[in-house]
Amino acid sequence: MTTRRTGAASAAALLGLALSALGVDACLGIDAREEVRGHENDAAALDAQRVRVLREGEASGRVADRVIAGAVPLSAAVDELEPGLRERPGFDCAWANDPPPTFRHRVARYVMIRVGTELERDPGRRDAVLARLDAEYASLR
């Protein structure tokens, strides 16, 4: 005569379910940790991009100030900013509807826009400086 132990079958089924749940929980934990790491990497990349953009803005502002003062001609400003702007993603696509003839002209246009922005509150001076820069732009190679 065999004795039936219904509790043993139930315990085995319950143990199987518990192990499955632990396995799923472990997988979800690993996935969540990987997702968090991915977000941390994305955040670090965005922060690096933010710092790069701030530094580029500061550098172009210093160059614009020297151009405004007449201490640096447009061609020298282009020489100074061109290497960094070549590395800027998307800069070569700026002014898609009215593309400058060369990358140097693209950088010169960027400098002129920056100068115009810096002198926004002084329209008379802005017009005089931009007229000088327009003449330099025309002779830029």
Mean per-residue pLDDT for 22-48?
A: 78
In a domain, 68, yes or no: yes
**What is the three-class DSSP state of 73?**
coil
Say how many domains are in the chain.
1
In a domain, 74, yes or no: yes
In a domain, 3, yes or no: no
In a domain, 1, yes or no: no
pLDDT in tens, 102-123: 999 999 999 999 999 999 999 9
pLDDT of residue 103: 93
In a domain, 60, yes or no: yes
One-letter amino acid for residue 14 of the chain: L
pLDDT in tens, 46-80: 888 888 888 888 999 999 999 999 999 999 999 99
Separation in Å, CA 54 to CA 2, 35, 50, 113, 141: 81, 28, 6, 17, 29
In a domain, 2, yes or no: no
- For residues 95 and 101, what is the distance between their CA atoms, to the nearest angstrom? 11
For 44, the domain range is 8-138
Which spans in the chain are helix H? 6-69, 74-87, 103-118, 123-138
In a domain, 75, yes or no: yes
pTM of the model: 0.69
